[in-house]
Every structure is written in structure tokens, then in C-alpha cells.
Amino acid sequence: ETGVTQTPRHLVMGMTNKKSLKCEQHLGHNAMYWYKQSAKKPLELMFVYSLEERVENNSVPSRFSPECPNSSHLFLHLHTLQPEDSALYLCASSGEENTEAFFGQGTRLTVV
């Protein structure tokens, strides 16, 4: 266990559904990240929050909407996804500036 918990572990959703991924950390970290991992592609950094403020958005489509209500929780709200959005979505957190990241186990998302 890394101290970062993601739920659900698996999610199957239709293209018209709305769902949310949840990430929780109680490591006292002040930065949280969402990554997308597709087959045969590098991990793609989607969003970065530092001290609950979004500091990075790597041109992610608006059908992905992040929310960081406090330093311990991070959500990724999903709506009208496409089949190519099927992937492993990983949440991570880090503490002091420029230190290592701690990852959750990921949510395996399948869009049908």
C-alpha cells in the first residue's frame, strides 16, 4: 500500500454516462496528479493540483473535469466519453517540492 487509494478499481461505462473517479491520500501531501495510461503509450499527465489549485492542464478534453475539494481528495468527473478514453487512470500525490510521487492502484476504465 502506498497510502494513495483510488476507487473504483474497475469501471465500465457507456458513452452517455456520467461517472466520477475518486482518489484519496492521507500522507500529508500537497500536490495531486491524474495520469492516463493507455496500451503502448507513455503515461500522460492530465492534471496537477498543488495546494488545491490547478497548476497544470495538459490540453485535456473537457469531457474530463477534475475537482480537488481539499488536499486529501481528488476527483475526475467523466461525461460523454469515447471508446478511445478506455485506459488505466492513475492518481498520484507528492509532498515537498520536487520529490517522488506515490501512486494509487489505478482505475481500469472501459468505455463501451
Partner 1 sequence: SQQGEEDPQALSIQEGENATMNCSYKTSINNLQWYRQNSGRGLVHLILIRSNEREKHSGRLRVTLDTSKKSSSLLITASRAADTASYFCASRNYGGSQGNLIFGKGTKLSVKP
Tell me if 84 contacts partner 1 by CB under 8 A.
no
User: Which of 92, 109, 111, 112 is the binder for partner 1 (CB under 8 A)?
Assistant: 92
Tell me if 22 contacts partner 1 by CB under 8 A.
no
Q: Is the bond preceding 8 in cis, omega lying within 30 degrees of 0?
A: yes
Question: Can you read off the three cell numbers belonging to residue 69?
Answer: 475539494
User: Which of 7, 57, 99, 110 is the binder for partner 1 (CB under 8 A)?
Assistant: 99
Phi and psi at residue 72, to the nearest 5°: -100, -15
Q: Which is nearer to partner 1, 86 or 105 (CB)?
A: 105
Tell me if 51 contacts partner 1 by CB under 8 A.
yes
Q: Which residues pair with 45 in a beta bridge?
A: 35
Q: Which is nearer to partner 1, 66 or 106 (CB)?
A: 106
* C-beta atoms surrounding 63 within 10 Å: 14
Sole window of 11-19, 49-57, 59-67, 74-82 interacting with partner 1 (rule: CB under 8 A): 49-57
- Contact indicator for 94, 100 with CB cutoff of 8 Å: yes
